[in-house]
Amino acid sequence: LAQLESILKEAESASENEEMDIAKAAQTTIETAIHSLIETLKNKEFLLAVAQVKAFRSLWPNDIFGSCEDDPVQTLLHIYFHHQTLGQTGSFAVIGSDLDMSEANYKLMELNLEIRESLRMVQSYQLLAQAKPIGSLVSTGF
């Protein structure tokens, strides 16, 4: 992801003077736009990917593509990472050297506590399952 971030930042700098035809982007849905972005990234068309994010923001402001104030590189990294980890839980990515690592540390500790609690619950259910079922006890007639 760090290498992709570096390449995308270069593309963003180069895209300052580029504009994408919004009419082409207007023919898509959000799902199609995301798929288009993923394909653009896979094809290593980074300049086009940055331009697409900017165009899609004008069509769907404050959606998955973010707002005009958001960094398009971070948005692309988020979409790419989300796509790569689809169906996986507990995946985290820390990108950029200027980020405060305490937030990442806090989230990882929180996840660790959740995992421990889940393991405790599973172990307690296993113990209950090993115990004799209530139906096999002798009825006293009450």
79 in the same domain as 9: yes
How many independent structural domains does the chain possess? 2
- 48-92: per-residue pLDDT in tens? 888 899 889 888 888 889 888 888 888 898 888 888 877 667 666
Q: With respect to residue 117, please indicate whether it lies within any of the assigned structural domains.
A: yes
83 in the same domain as 107: no
Ordered DSSP codes for 43-100: TT-HHHHHHHHHHHHHHSTTBTTB-TTS-HHHHHHHHHHHHHTTT-SS------TTS-
77 in the same domain as 21: yes
Q: With respect to residue 136, please indicate whether it lies within any of the assigned structural domains.
A: no
Average pLDDT over the chain, rounded to whole? 78
48 in the same domain as 111: no
State pTM to two decimals.
0.54
